[in-house]
Structures are given as C-alpha cells and as structure tokens.
Amino acid sequence: MNEIEQVADVLKLLGDKNRLTIIALLNEKELCVCEIVDILQTSQPNISQHMRKLKDGGLVKETKRGQWVYYALSVQDKPYIAEILRHIPSQKDKLMSAVCEENECCN
C-alpha cells in the first residue's frame, strides 16, 4: 500500500464521529474502555469495535493492567494527525464529567 492510500485509510477512520471523539479524548489522556463508554454514553461492545478499528489503523495502543485495558494515542509516525488534533475542539469538559472516574470502575 502506498503512502497516500495509508493516509486515506486513516482519514476514513477519523470520518466517524465516535472515533474522532475517542481520538480527541485520548489526546487529553490515556483512558480505559469503561471511561470511554461512560463519556460517549454507548455500549461497551460498540466502543470495543471502534477501539479495534483504531488499533488496527495504528492510531492507538493498548496496555493491559489487571482486568482493564487502557488506550493511548500512538500517532508519532503520523504528524498529520497532530495537525488535525490542533483543530478539533477540546474534550476536557467531557473528561471532567466522566462518572466512571468517580466510581473508580477501572482503578
């Protein structure tokens, strides 16, 4: 696959509102699936499917800690993603309202 096809595939991934929001959230901090579920108000299987696509696309990496999987951005090799993220509205307000952290579901 040539470079333009790779960029096109990544941009297709970001064309989904939920995946774009997830990337913006992960730009703020590493998150557990349960935190993303809480923030986006959707099902765990739905978020897991989005995370698999983002991971397969090379945009996120996962770290397992006990029974929980944490996700972080992995875009060092894609400088154009950093530029896109500069233009996406901050998701800090959504992170602050996450109930999951208060319940410590993944800590």
Its pTM stands at 0.87
CATH classification at residue 83 = 1.10.10.10
Angle at 53 between CA 11 and CA 1, to 5 degrees: 55
Residue 45 lies in a domain: yes
- Domains identified in the chain, total number: 1
Residue 103 lies in a domain: no
Which pLDDT score, from 0 to 100, does residue 106 have?
Answer: 63
pLDDT digits (tens, 9 = 90+) for 19-34: 999 999 999 999 999 9
Q: Which residues have CB under 8 Å from 34's CB, separation 6+?
A: 44, 68, 100, 105, 106
Residue 26 lies in a domain: yes
Q: Which residues have CB under 8 Å from 106's CB, separation 6+?
A: 32, 33, 34, 35, 68, 70, 100
pLDDT digits (tens, 9 = 90+) for 83-92: 999 999 988 8
Name the more confident of 103 and 78. Answer: 78
Best CA proximity match to 9, nearest among 45, 43, 58, 44:
58
Q: Which domain holds residue 62?
A: 3-98
